Amino acid sequence: MVATVSNEPEVFQGNAVPVPGLRRHVLDLDDFTAEEIAATLDNAAAMRAVLERDVKKVPALRGRVIMTLFYEASTRTRISFEEAGKILSADVINMTASASSIEKGESLLNTGLTLQAMGVDVIVVRHPHAGAPHFLARNLSNVAVINAGDGAHAHPTQGLLDLYTAREHLGGLSGRKVVIVGDVLHSRVARSAVWGFAKAGAQVILSGPPTLMPDPLTPGGWGAAGNNGVANPLANVSVESDLDAAIEGADLVMALRLQSERQQRGFFPSLREYIRRWQVNDARMARANHDALLMHPGPMNEGIEVSSGVAHGERSLIEEQVTNGVAIRMALLYQLAGAVAVEN
């Protein structure tokens, strides 16, 4: 077996160079610096090499206990974390809670305290309420918390895997044009992608029904250079509801999952009209750069937000995103395990 990564740059880098910033938790990408994001993607590349070996196992997290605590149904994200933990030799325990248990059963706090008392090192939490991971992080002194999706707020590991996938194909991300299409308002994937791509220097355009565009995420507003003398980290983000205009010259198009309940709630008139105006199809991809890439966080409504042709076309990175998700989560678990060790 030959384990190689062909494009490894000929630079010697010290083994002792730590990832910048002593991170305890991964809550969202808004508190990552560009350097930390780059270092995490570099580590993910090394993890990806482990994934490509026959023996997909390293002892780095031997003896650590990782708990996936999912209050929402999820297959790919939970399995991705589980695989990542197991490849790193951690013990991974899965706990799923039905939505009703949030209301009736043990409070999130007591669940967290119980897990902490059991010696869990890392809690990977998905929760329908924004801020649930922050709440756990605030109240648990000896546990690292990773946000695996909280309400409409954030999905930072998805954001990082999107960045990793995009960087692998585009080289650098600085100055690249990224279009995020669909229900941005309710999308934690989109919010984390906005932070990640903007911090990596890309130009980000949000497109979709005006009713599904969120308010700006920073005080100055989209595109503002700054506010009260503080630079706007999202100065290179803008909104353009006309997808045909937004996609012009794009290097990367990210289509978001459209939930049918949005139509029922009246955010747009009909699926037919949505498809007409915002489906990513061949005609629209033709307006983008000739080698523009397509990403989708899954699960996909083929034929609604993305046409089948584009979804399975050669520009689609959808399956690769899944593989890279494992590598990114390995990198983060490794980095956090080290941080917890330092504090204790």
Partner 1 sequence: MALPQQRPILITGGRVIDPANGRDGIFDVLIADGEIKAVDQSIPAGSLDGAVRVIHAGGLVVCPGFIDIHTHLREPGFEYKETIATGAAAAARGGFTTICAMPNTDPAIDNAAVVDYIANRAASVPARVRVFGCVTKQRAGRELADMEELISAGVVAFSDDGDPVYDAGLMRLALTYSRDLGVPISNHCEDHELCPGGVMAEGWVSSRLGLAGIPAVAEEAMVARDISLAELTGGRLHVAHLSSAGSVAMVRQAKERGIPVTAEVCPHHLLLTDAWALGGKGDPNVAAGPLAYDTYTKVYPPLRTETDVAACVAGLADGTIDCVATDHAPHERVSKECTYHEAAFGISVLETALGTLMSAVHNGDVSLPTMIERLTTGPARVLGNGLSQYTALTPGTPADLTLFDPDAAWTVDVNQFASMGRNTPLDGVELRGRVAATIAGGRLVFEEPAVLNKGETA
Partner 2 sequence: MDADEIRRAVTRMFHEILERNHGADGLLLAGIRTRGVPLAERLAEQIRQAENVSIPVGRLDINLYRDDLSERPRMRIRPTTMPVDVAGRTVVLVDDVLYTGRTVRAAMDAISDLGRPLRIQAAALVDRGHRELPIRADFVGKNIPTRQMELVRVRFNETDGIDDVCILERGTA
Distance CA 111, CA 105 (A): 10
In this structure, the number of other CB atoms found within 10 A of the CB of residue 290 comes to 7
The window from 51-59, 120-128, 134-142, 149-157 that contacts partner 2 (CB under 8 A) reads: 51-59
Binding site for partner 1 (CB under 8 A): 24-25, 27-28, 30-31, 102, 107-109, 127-132, 134-135, 137-139, 150-154, 188, 191, 214-219, 221, 227, 230
Which is nearer to partner 1, 128 or 249 (by Cβ)? 128
226 touching partner 2, by CB under 8 A: no
Q: Length of the chain, please?
A: 344
Q: Rounded distance, CA 169 to CA 317, Å?
A: 9
Residue 19 binding partner 2, by CB under 8 A: yes
Which of 26, 27, 47, 65 contacts partner 2 by CB under 8 A? 47
Round to whole Å and give the CA distance between 205 and 192. Answer: 14
Q: Which is nearer to partner 1, 187 or 289 (CB)?
A: 187
Q: Which residue number, 228 or 344, has a Cβ lying nearer to partner 2? A: 344
Q: Which lies closer to partner 1 via its Cβ, residue 279 or residue 335?
A: 335
Q: Which of 31, 53, 299, 313 is close enough to bind partner 2 by CB under 8 A?
A: 53
Q: Residue 149 in 3-state DSSP?
A: strand
Looking at 66, 88, 198, 311, which residue binds partner 2 (CB under 8 A)? 88
Alpha-carbon distance of 10 to 14, in angstroms, equals: 13
Residue 218 CB, nearest distance to partner 1 (Å)?
A: 6
Q: Is the dihedral of CA 184, 187, 193, 196 positive or negative?
A: positive
CB 151 to partner 1: min, Å: 5
Backbone angles phi, psi at 60, to 5 degrees: -50, -45
User: Which of 158, 169, 224, 230 shows the shortest CA–CA distance to 196?
Assistant: 158
For residue 51, state whether it binds partner 2 (rule: CB under 8 A): no
Q: Which of 17, 6, 16 is nearest to 52 (CA)?
A: 6
Q: Rounded to a whole number, what is the largest CA-CA distance in the chain?
A: 57
Q: Beta-carbon neighbour count of residue 168 at 10 Å? A: 16
Please choose which of partner 2, partner 1, none residue 314 contacts, taking the beta carbon within 5 to 8 angstroms, the exact cut-off set by kind: none
Is residue 225 a contact point for partner 2 (CB under 8 A)?
no
Which 302-331 positions form the footprint of partner 2 (CB under 8 A)? 331
CB proximity list for 8: less than 8 A, separation 6 or greater:
none
Q: Which residues lie near partner 2 (CB under 8 A)?
A: 1-5, 8, 12-19, 22-23, 39, 42-43, 45-47, 49-50, 53-55, 57-61, 88, 331, 334-335, 337-339, 341-342, 344
